[in-house]
Amino acid sequence: MVTGGTGALGSAVVETLLGAGAHCVLPWMDESELKRFARRDDPNVKLIQVPTLSDEAAVAKLYDAAPHLWASIHLVGGFAMAPVADTDKAALLQQLDMNFVTCFLCCSAAVRAMRKRQAGGRIVNAAARPALEWRAGAGMAAYAASKAAVAALTVALAEEVAKDGILVNAVAPSIMDTKMNRDAMPKADQAAWPKVEEVAATIAFLASPDNKVTRGAVVPVYGRT
């Protein structure tokens, strides 16, 4: 399962997983993103339209479509840049909904599915650099807080489910080298940004059977930034 799998990082993750022989289930919401997704006709990719991943019933139905779940990778989310004084309750809740609630509900559904199989599994979440370096969240505090919640969830859940053979980790990317970020920050040192393929390689390892011992980690994937 790869949420956010049709996005820039998600597409790179799916590409890496398919190359390793995985079968991928991908929820999608954005039709324009789906049209750009190069693997939409791949027989090893199952695409499922969902209205939202912040609704328990929608998430439960999604995970019912993955009865042989080994790994659940949660990349869906959103970003908002605004100082605290200019962030109202609605904007705060939107960030929590997109980044933390979606992750929490997918983690919960994934654990239930993996426990049913009794074969262990892997969960990988997406935090962010401000989740580890709180001062970096200045000017985007709602986003930073929502990603810090993802980091805390990751570590707590890893302790809960280790006995089930489920290893839970997260990555914490800095600004990644994507077209959107290049367009938004044309004067930045873009060469220092981590490539999505490089971040995807870390995610794929954490989600793989080759990862036998790493759990409760929030792994910085900063490149040279």
Active site residues: 143
The secondary structure of residue 98, as a DSSP letter, is: I
For residues 99 and 39, give the distance between their C-alpha atoms in angstroms, rounded to a whole number: 25
Q: What are phi and psi of 4, to 5 degrees?
A: 70, 20
The CA-atom distances, in angstroms, between 186 and each of 128, 176, 191 are: 21, 13, 11
Structure tokens at 15: 């590409």
The secondary structure of residue 88, as a DSSP letter, is: -
Inter-residue contact 151 to 77 (CB < 8 Å)? no
| Exposed / middle / buried, residue 179 (Cβ in 10 Å: 0-12, 13-18, 19+) | exposed
For residues 193 and 191, give the distance between their C-alpha atoms in angstroms, rounded to a whole number: 6
Angle between helices 8-19 and 196-207 (to 10 degrees): 50
Residues ≥6 apart with Cβ < 8 Å to 51: 29, 58
Composition of the chain by helix, strand, coil, percent to 5: 50, 15, 35
- As a dihedral over the C-alpha atoms of residue 179, residue 81, residue 150, residue 75, rounded to 10 degrees, the angle is -20
